[in-house]
A = this chain, B = another copy of it.
């Protein structure tokens, strides 16, 4: 798919159809994250791909907003090492956001939907995924084909008005 179509087609998908996502597609989606940039190329991240239904069902219980993970074809857990200071903590989150969008757009390119979830119960999430202490399961990304309509470029996504968000030259200007 053309990049611009993938960027415009990506949307938050939390209801998934029954079809599995091919292993090679999951690998490509993970490769997009692996290729993402990070501060000083430090790559403070690990990605755990989950396709086992029992494990997905358990993961869906780590946060009220994670219920969609139970019916996803797969999930990708985004894991960070605990940061030594606030500066690193902020940078790591920023970098993880970059890797996340790489996942989202690489999936959209394949017609595959994605939906974020936070993690409330860290201990439980670490246990399900075998993540050692000293790490945080920062987010889960549900992955699967949309149950309803396929991904198509969105003409008018629900966003703040473009000219309130994007400025030219100075903050007070409107685009």
Q: A residues engaging B (CB < 8 A)?
A: 1-8, 10, 12, 27-28, 30-37, 39, 41, 43, 45-52, 55, 79, 89-91, 93-102, 104-106, 108-109, 116, 118, 129-132, 135, 138-139, 154, 157-160, 162, 165-173, 175
Contact = CB atoms under 8 A, between A and B. Distances in A.
B171 A129 contact: yes
Contacts of A55: 169
A101 B37 CA distance: 9
Looking at A52, A138, A139, A162, the one whose CB has the most chain B CB atoms below 10 A away is A162
How many identical chains are in the complex?
2
Contact of A45 (B5, B30, B165, B172): B165
Given A109-B4, A171-B48, A93 B102 contact: no
A35 B8 contact: yes
Contacts of A3: 1-3, 5-6, 105-106, 108-109
B49 A167 contact: yes
Given A7-B105, A34-B165, A49-B168, 20 more contacts: A3-B5, A3-B6, A3-B108, A7-B106, A10-B35, A10-B37, A30-B175, A36-B101, A37-B116, A43-B165, A47-B165, A47-B167, A49-B167, A49-B175, A55-B169, A93-B93, A94-B94, A98-B101, A129-B170, A135-B171
